[in-house]
Structures are given as C-alpha cells and as structure tokens.
Structure 1
Amino acid sequence: MLLEDSKVQIDLTKGASHTLKNLGIVYLSLYLDHDNFSLTTPDTSGELLKTPGCCTENLHVSGVANTARHLLLLLDINHPLLGHHAGCLSGTKEVSPWTRIIEITFPDSLASAADLQEVQSTLGFLQETLNAPFIGHNQRKIRQEATRLGLLPEQGVLSHDERKALPVIRRYVHGLHLGATDILLFGMISAKLHSLGCDISQLQCDDLTQKWFERMIDIAQAFEPFYMNFLRENVDLKVELEMETSNKEIGIAEEKADPVENQGEVDKTLLLKMDEIANNYQYQELDDFPVKWDSLSDLLKPQRNKVNNTNKMFQLQSILAGVHLCVKHLRSLNLPKIRIVDFCSGAGHLGIFLAHHFPDCHIILVETKWGSLRYAKERIDKLGLKNISLCLAHMEQFVGRFELGVSLHACGSLTDKVFQQCIRSSAAIVSSPCCYGKIVNSESLLYPKSERFRNIIYDHNEFFKVSRLADHESNNENYMKCVDIDRTEHLREYGYQFVGISKLKPLTCSPKNNLVVAFMD
C-alpha cells in the first residue's frame, strides 16, 4: 500500500467533469476506495497535462489508461486489476487496441450516442470480445482455472478429447478475472445511460454480454450510491464529447500515418540540389562547456549495465552547451522563471543532468513509459533534486507553458512534435534528431516542413527518400543536414530569429550528431 495517509488528487477537466473519460476514472477510484482519492477540477491555466489525470508529489499522470494504471500501482504493483504481469492497458494507444478503445474509440462513440439504440450500437466490440473464446499465454493453466470457476466440466465427466475441444468462455473482457478495463467501460456506460434517463436492464444484449453486465452490477453495489451521488452533483445529465483544442497549423493532433511509397531511385538532379544546399550551409559553432565527470555523483552519469556510457556522456555535454546559450538568452529577458521540458525523456539522463546544472530552472520530464520514469524518480529522490517534475503522458497530452524544450534522439517525427510543442509555447529549442528515415506524414505533420523545401521538392515521397538516405552510415551527412535545414527554415517561418545546426562532439559519440538550437528574441 503506497498511499499511506495521503490522498491522491484526481484532476478532472474544469467545466466538463461530465465527460466520459473523467467518469471512467471516477468510477475506478470509487471501486478502489472512495475515501482515499480527492476529486478536483483544477484551473486549466496551471495545468501541465490534459485531463483526466492524477497527481502525487512531483509526478503528473495524464490519459485514461495511464491514470487508471497509476492509481492501481499506487495501491499494489501487482494489483489484480492489472492482470497478468501487470500488463492491462500498459501499451500505448498506437500499439494496444484496448488502450485505444479506452482512450479514444469508445468514449468518443458513446458520447455522441443520442439515445438508447445508439448506445446499443456502440457495444458491438464488447459483445464480440465476450463471445470470443479466451486463449492466453498458458492455456493449460487457463483451463484449470476455468474448471475451478465452473466454466468447464470436471475431468472425468467428458473424455480428454471432448473436454479439450470445449472453448474457455470469458467472464470479463480480458478473460476469467475482473480487470481495470471492465470497470472503466462499465463506468462510462453507466454514466451515459444515467444521462439519458435509461437503465442497463433496457439494453438488448446476447447472453454472455448480459451476464457480464450482471457481474458488473453485483460488483458495483458497494459504491454505486457514491457514483450516482457524484453524477447528481456534478453532471448536468448531458454527457457530451469532450472537445479538445487543436491547431492544424502547429497541430498536436491524433496521428494517422500516411503510407510512404518508397519505390525506385531518388532523382539524381534532386540529390545534386540537396548536396548544393548542404554544402552552402555553415554549421553553428557553440562554446564548449567541459564537464568534470569525475566530481559528479554516479547517479548523474548515464550508465549501461552499471558501466558509464561514455558516448552518452559526450552527448549530454554537447547539449549542455546549447542549453547554456538558450538559458543565457532567456535570463536576459528577465523572465520570472525558466521551465525546461525534456520531451521523450526516457530514464531522464538529460533532464536530471540539466536539473543539477541549472538549479534555478525547473525541469519537466515527459515520457510515455512508466518503467523509465520510475527509474528516473529513484535517481531524483536519491540525488535530492527539488527542481524537477515528472509527467507520464504522450507528448500531445502535455499542455503546459515552458521556456525551453530539449530532446535527445527523439525518434523520427517525434523530433518535429517537440518542435510543434516549442512553437506553441514560443519556447527555445535544443534538440538532437534521430531516425531520419522514420519521419512520416500525419494529420499534424506534413513534409517538407518549410516553404523553401516545398518549392524544391513537390512530392513528399521524394523528400522521404532523401530522409531515408540520411539513415545510411556512408555518405549520409548532407542528407541529414538537408532534413534539418528544412526544419530550421520552418522555425524561421514561425518567428525564430536565432536558428542554427551545430554538432555533437566528438562526432563519433553518435552517427546522428546534428544539434538544432533556436530561440526567439
């Protein structure tokens, strides 16, 4: 039990606490322990992340799946609702169908349902899931558990072959036992029906889905009165789709990859033009900032298998030079505070390093993987750093204001999403890109990014062929350079006065050794 005597603050969208995503989290918190969670609707001007979310000490969590998992992990790292190996809803929405259902598909479709019949139509995926036989990683153990639960006959009643041929019937969406997904789904459905003045008994479902509803009703009996009271006090009986702010110009929108046609050779005339642009561009020289690594705690040094990662240390030292330049400029503006966001922070090597070197700045780590942030938190606590916060969230869920955005080898298009975030906040940028061959068009990102390059490369597939050449180990320097020149030209179009491409030193510390530095006057 990690909660001890303190309460976990669950943040709900101000003015929209009736949204289904919020209500799924409310339902889960009431199921766990309605006395240990405080529900708030914070002033959105001070938020770091989109809600729903939760906050404990210096850790901020955003999104339905992340918030649900974190509430459960606070109670027990092996909480039964997290399922086998605590894997329930652990994948991102890009790779996990259930996370995508919980975060986007189901709440959006359910919220738009105008009557009982339309609610009924949104439950097709649920009925399909519950009617599919349960097949897991250890089928023998699953069948033993199903027998114990009375879902399969005891051995001896049927022959071995007859018994083996019987499918294992699901009791819940992930198999035989209740999971967080069941509670989130039921909480949303219950809230929507309440808003329509309907009852679950009015739904027309097949037998297995009806039994799922009956089990969920039994489970909810202990806390259902608290939930209904919450709905009466906070919901205006209009469960609507939460409208999320988007900006198509710098859009931080839901990504839908545009398939790339990458057949054939790159036009040689285009390659000659890229070589010309690259050869005429001069790299920006930054002042060196030598780091006395021997005098630093091992907790500040990036390590691999308990051995100092020398290349990563050189990378951090090079980025420190860019950050020094930007912080010096920001201080000249007499800003009340300087907030530095380390996007795609991983285990926090860069962010923790910066928190140590800039004690008067506040550092925010933004990362999607809890395992990486947990390791970062352990190091932060041991170092006693007080100027650092952690955000478990996708990049597009971060909505806080900041003055400097940094990233080290954010893969492919993630580097451009970092730039989008910085443009949104008019923030300075220090970023070393990576995986040029993985950039791809989406609703929020179109390549080439700058008008200059769009006037040269009319077909984005030709640009992607150039970017893929940048990932080749031989003769890739000019192609990497051109992709990043396109990025810097795009930044100039948004008002960045100082924009330059420098290099990580020594060049051998990484094959992807470009460093983009930019700020506004």
Structure 2
Amino acid sequence: MEEQDSLYLTGREDGVDLWVPAESLIALFTLQYCDNPTASIIIVDQKNFMSRPSSPTPLCCSEDPSDMTGFENNPWFPVEKNCLNFEIKVKEEKDCPDVIKNCMLPAVLMASEPWCVAGLCSSLRFVLRQTLTVHPEHYCQNLLGFRGGCLQACAEVSVWTKFCEVESVIALKNLCSDFYSNSGKRELPKYMVRYENHLQHPPILHNALKRKQEYIKNTVQDKNKQQQLCQKTLAELPQLEHKFAEGLDMTLADIILYASFHLIISKMRAYVSMEDMFPLIVKWYKLISSNDHVQRALPVLQKTLVYISVEEKAECNLEIVIPSVPYESIYKSDPERYKPRWRMYTHQGEIDKVLGIFETEAVKPTYSIHPADVTSLPWSSFPSAVSPQEGQLPFSRLQRKCQQLENVVSAVKSVAKKGDVIVDFCAGGGHVGIVIAYCLPDCKILLVENKEASLVRAKKRVEALELKNVVFIQCNLDYFRGYFNVGVTLHACGVATDLVMLKCLEQRAAFICSPCCYGGVQPNHILSYPRSHVFRNLSLSLSEYLTLGHAADQTHDENNPKTEQGQLCMRLIDTDRLLLAQELNYNTRLVLMQPKSCSPKNHLLIGVLEY
C-alpha cells in the first residue's frame, strides 16, 4: 500500500472524545464534508499548548460565567470520535517529524518528499486537491473555485483569506467570552456584521458576462426577452446577488465559514432575531445547511453545540449594540488597515512635511552607509542548476540577480556556522536558498514560500543538484515557528521584510534582509508601525509614516531629482527597523549591495544578537 500524505491537527484524546482548538474543529468539519480524504489524519497532542485543565470540562456549562479561567483566550472544543468517517491517529508532539514541529498546525507533510504545507486554508486546499487527483469525479471538484484560486492568496495580503482563515477562528475562540456580560449589553460580533455587509454587495465574478448570460437563460422563461437581454453589454446588465460566499458557486470558503457560523448562530439565537438582524446570512446559512454533504458533516459540531447551548433565559431588557463596521464588501474592506480618502502619498508637499518632522525633532538616519563586503562567486564552475537562470529568470535580469546573490550569500557566510539552520523566507524559486545550500553543505536550509508553483521550480533545481540539506515549507510567514539560527530574505516586499525580521527577533536568530517595495508597508493583524520606540515617540502619524514609505520607492536613476530624496526615505524606514532590533540587544548594520547598479533597492539589513 502506498504511503499517504499526513495532515497534522492540534488536539487531545480524552476517552470517546477529541478536544481540539478552533482551527482543528473547522478542519475536521471540512474533512467530514469532503469524505474519503486521501491523507492520514493525525492529532498532535500538544500538552503545553492547551490553556485548559488536563481533565476537560464543558466549555459553557458552568453556572458561574466567571469560572472560565483559561478558556477566553484559547478555548478548546469537544468532538465525538465515533462520528468521524475517517480514521484518526494520535501522536505526541515529540514524536512528530521536525518539519511539522517547525510549523503552526494544521499542516500537511508529504509522504515521499521533504515538503510541508502549513496553515488552515493551504492545508485543506492541499488535501482537497490530492483527493481530486485520486478521485477526479469527486463531488468536491468545484470547491477550489475558478482556476483553483479559492483562498490561494495568503492572509497577510488577502482580506478575504484573512476573514476566512483568521477571523473565523477568532470568532470561534470568542464564542463564550463575547456573550458573557454583567452590563446588560451584548455587542453583535463585527465578524457577523461584516459578512452581512459583504453579502449585500454584488459578487466579483470571473467571466462576468458569460455568468450573467447563463443566469438569464436559467431564470428568464420568455425566449424573446432572454435573447434581448443576452445581446446587451456587461455594463447594461443588472448586478447579480451573492448566492454563496464568493458569488454564484459554492467553494471551500463556504465550508470553512459555515463551521463557525453554525455554532455562532446557534449561540446568538437566544439574544437576537437572526432573521431581522442578519437576513442575508440566514439565507446563505439555510442554503448551505440544505446540502446533503453538509448534513453528513454536522455531527462533528454536535457535541460542541450541546456545550455552548445557552441554559439561561434570554434577558428581556437586554440592549443589543451594533458595532460600527464599514459598509463594504470584504473583498475591499479591512477595518484594521489604514485607508486614507486619497492615496496622495507621493505629493511633494506631503513628503516635505514628513521630512520636516525629522529635522525639527533632530532625528536622522543613524547609520553610515558602507559598501557591503562581497566575495564573488565562481558561477562558471557551478552546476547550471545553481544559477538563477535555472529558476526561469529572464536573461536581462540575470547579471544583476547574480550580483545581488553574491551580496546576500557573502553576508550569510559571515554570520553562519557549521550545523546552523538557515531559513530563506519568501524563497520564491529558491534563488537565495539554493546557492546557500550549495555553498554551505554543512548547514540545513529551509525554503519558506507561500506559492506552490515557485517551490516546485526550486524543488526541480534541488533534485538536479542532489542536495540533501534542503527542506520545502509551503506556508505564510505567520505559520512558520521552527527553530533556526539565521533568517535571510532578498527583496521581501513591503511588510514581508518586517515579518521576516519579527520571526528572527522572536527566535533570537541573526537576520540578513534586503527590503523592497517600501510603499507596501501597511499595518496588519501582526504588525504595527512605526516599529521602534524612537520613531513611535516622534510626532509622526501613521499616514505620515506611510507617506515616507511611498516616497522611499522614488529611487530611479542617478540623474532623477527624486532619487536622492527616495534614498533618504529608504534610510529612515530601515533605521526604524534596525532600531527595533537594537532595542532587543542586536548588533546591526546597514550596508549597500555592490555594485550599486545591481538594484535601486540596494539596502542590506544585517543583525546579530549580542551575547
């Protein structure tokens, strides 16, 4: 029998039940919906992970709502093992492969490859795709959406993925604490209000004209009227309404969201009229509930549903508070992101104002820029698969990319030691990590990248070189949690540089980062700006800081009058980044990659922990 890929979920076995966190509960429900998953399902017993007593007690059955110590921040949920239509194995975390220990769960480990896929959406997408490979006619074949793109983008950049993967989990974690209150008030979850608003907006459709014409043919009985409508242009046709979460077709997003909404709606019915407050959610919920496969998956949620059922009588004088949420589609809306009315970041007057703040408060870039200490690499003597040309790089960029790699690899060699674990974050096609793996065979190299196609290209090069010191981890930056000694990234766009630095600072690892796309700097659910205490103590607003980032992208050629100003803004942003590292006891340097012509974004941020 061929060995199966393995999906690892966090949980604990307790008699006839499993106790699992929100991510695992959603995953188990989705697996039950899909049926016959072509992966071995393994529950990882993380004893130190669970913030509840070792002997499970019902989540919400205590007569005293205050007797919930440990549950508010990270509650776990019961699932009856016998209801599952697939086998569950249980392992202790210490017995799991190292690559699984490197990732937040859920995560999939491929059976025959050093390849791991981590994150709720990515893991479920992987299992679903593998199932369809084995069973091409499986009823789940449409769940991946148009061209297989459903929930493909990472949560750091996609508001929609963040809603499904991050906010649905948070909503479940807040299931108990949100509804216990002695104030006589209940605030409706923003999660619910945002989704109701989303369903009120027209869906974004691929092949919109074709889909609208299909809708007309299916709903308009009069053949002449059908013909007249189908001859109209896209702009002349009326907008369609949401039927499912992403439009007219049921996708994986519907299944993931349904798991949380089923429990939340059941909890809220004691306090509000769902039909009055959330008519479109109720309409969507009833449609999903009518699906036969959803009905078969509901037993996964049944035991949790019993525990969260409200025993108390609904309060007659309870005040329901509706939170303030932008009336926008979730595709466009993220309440936590800064949204100026006009995106005029690069107007010179605004830039002058921001730079004036630094002059007034006597804050300058604290780093004297020095050329990087670079050792040329013998590209001509390397096997062809080491060259970035093998990563499908256009010839016009090849020389500059080789120069950039020489700068990064020289910096890595200056800090890495034999036996170190080096992580190439945002690895892409492996340009950086493969050269490091070839030049430092006594080090272990982890390629962390969200895009599968990019890692596939890297894997082909690694196989051609027969490298045995490379592991592939397909996940968002946020889901990597492994031990490492050196973190490296080349031209990580916008917030990615700060996410990489954050991983390194948390791990107390050395970092070598080449930033890019400063205008992409933007607060998110992980990061806030400015980064350092020094910059936060300035009279600098968030919008002014973002203006600085956009001005930093005005680095053109040496003859352009904006270039010098852009380079100054780059130094200020990177000074803020390195000051944060200094506050955490790092020795830091800011150097220029050589030759300067190798890239307009030629900063290299280097940090090593002081001992």
Please tell me the TM-score bracket, short chain as reference: 0.7 to 0.9
2:579 matches 1:512: no
Q: CA deviation at 1:408?
A: 0.8
Q: Report the residue type matching 1:311 in the other structure.
A: R
Deviations, residues 401-427 of structure 1 (Å, cap 9, x unaligned) = 211111111123432222221111110
State the secondary structure of the residue aligned to 1:40: strand
Contact 2:428 2:451 in 1 (8 A): yes
> 2:20: which partner in 1?
18
What is the distance in 2 between the residues matched to 1:448 and 1:170? 40
Deviations, residues 62-100 of structure 1 (Å, cap 9, x unaligned) = 332222222233344894211222121223335544323
> 2:407: which partner in 1?
318
TM-score (norm: length of structure 1): 0.76
What is the distance in 2 between the residues matched to 1:505 and 1:159? 65
Choose the corresponding residue for 1:492, options 582, 586, 590.
582
Contact 1:111 1:192 in 2 (8 A): no
> 1:84: which partner in 2?
146
Choose the corresponding residue for 1:7, options 1, 4, 9.
4
Contact 2:196 2:280 in 1 (8 A): no
Q: Report the residue type matching 2:532 in the other structure.
A: K
Contact 2:433 2:447 in 1 (8 A): yes
CA distance 1:136–1:256, change in 2 (3 Å): closer
Contact 2:589 2:607 in 1 (8 A): yes
> 1:138: which partner in 2?
207
2:528 matches 1:459: no
CA distance 1:141–1:463, change in 2 (3 Å): closer
CA distance 1:276–1:494, change in 2 (3 Å): closer
Q: CA deviation at 1:238?
A: 5.5
Q: Report the residue type matching 1:63 in the other structure.
A: G
Percent pairwise identity:
25
State the secondary structure of the residue aligned to 2:223: coil
What is the distance in 2 between the residues matched to 1:63 and 1:364? 17
Q: CA RMSD in A?
A: 4.3
Could you tell which deviates more after superposition, 393-402 or 32-41?
32-41
What is the distance in 2 between the residues matched to 1:191 and 1:378? 44
> 1:54: which partner in 2?
108
Q: CA deviation at 1:223?
A: 4.4
What is the distance in 1 between the residues matched to 2:169 and 2:358? 50
Choose the corresponding residue for 2:387, options 301, 321, 333.
301
What is the distance in 1 between the residues matched to 2:491 and 2:116? 23
CA distance 1:494–1:32, change in 2 (3 Å): same
What are the equivalent positions in structure 2 for 1:34-53 lying under 5 Å apart?
Answer: 34=36, 36-42=38-44, 43=46, 47-53=101-107
Q: Report the residue type matching 2:126 in the other structure.
A: H
2:119 matches 1:63: yes
Contact 2:37 2:131 in 1 (8 A): no
2:255 matches 1:183: yes
Q: CA deviation at 1:101?
A: 2.4
Q: CA deviation at 1:512?
A: 1.8
What is the distance in 2 between the residues matched to 1:513 and 1:293? 21
CA distance 1:351–1:176, change in 2 (3 Å): same
State the secondary structure of the residue aligned to 1:89: coil
Could you tell which deviates more after superposition, 164-173 or 179-188?
164-173
What is the distance in 2 between the residues matched to 1:143 and 1:346? 37
What is the distance in 2 between the residues matched to 1:326 and 1:313? 20
2:466 matches 1:384: yes
> 1:99: which partner in 2?
161
Could you tell which deviates more after superposition, 418-427 or 498-507?
498-507
What is the distance in 1 between the residues matched to 2:203 and 2:569? 50
Choose the corresponding residue for 1:267, options 334, 356, 360.
356
Deviations, residues 173-195 of structure 1 (Å, cap 9, x unaligned) = 3344332122223333456679x
CA distance 1:284–1:162, change in 2 (3 Å): closer
> 1:156: which partner in 2?
223
Contact 1:21 1:52 in 2 (8 A): yes
What is the distance in 1 between the residues matched to 2:229 and 2:6? 53
State the secondary structure of the residue aligned to 2:143: helix
What is the distance in 2 between the residues matched to 1:101 and 1:39? 25
Contact 1:342 1:350 in 2 (8 A): yes
2:428 matches 1:431: no
Contact 1:18 1:235 in 2 (8 A): no
2:280 matches 1:283: no
Q: Report the residue type matching 2:529 in the other structure.
A: L
Contact 1:404 1:429 in 2 (8 A): yes
State the secondary structure of the residue aligned to 2:446: strand
Contact 1:143 1:152 in 2 (8 A): no
Contact 2:6 2:109 in 1 (8 A): yes
CA distance 1:397–1:235, change in 2 (3 Å): farther
What is the distance in 2 between the residues matched to 1:420 and 1:208? 37
State the secondary structure of the residue aligned to 2:473: strand
Contact 2:33 2:294 in 1 (8 A): no
What is the distance in 1 between the residues matched to 2:161 and 2:519? 27
CA distance 1:133–1:318, change in 2 (3 Å): closer
Q: Report the residue type matching 2:607 in the other structure.
A: A
Q: CA deviation at 1:146?
A: 4.1
CA distance 1:220–1:190, change in 2 (3 Å): farther
> 1:249: which partner in 2?
none
Q: Gapped runs of 5+ residues in structure 1?
A: 240-253, 332-336
2:446 matches 1:364: yes
Contact 1:82 1:179 in 2 (8 A): yes
Deviations, residues 365-415 of structure 1 (Å, cap 9, x unaligned) = 222333323332333344333322223332222222211111111123432
Contact 1:257 1:440 in 2 (8 A): yes
What is the distance in 2 between the residues matched to 1:106 and 1:120? 11
What is the distance in 2 between the residues matched to 1:121 and 1:436? 31
Choose the corresponding residue for 1:342, options 424, 430, 445.
424
Contact 1:448 1:463 in 2 (8 A): no
What is the distance in 1 between the residues matched to 2:242 and 2:42? 36
2:416 matches 1:327: yes
What is the distance in 1 between the residues matched to 2:572 and 2:191? 47
State the secondary structure of the residue aligned to 1:91: coil
Q: CA deviation at 1:484?
A: 3.3
2:536 matches 1:446: no
Contact 1:341 1:404 in 2 (8 A): yes
> 2:90: which partner in 1?
none
2:244 matches 1:172: yes
> 1:220: which partner in 2?
293
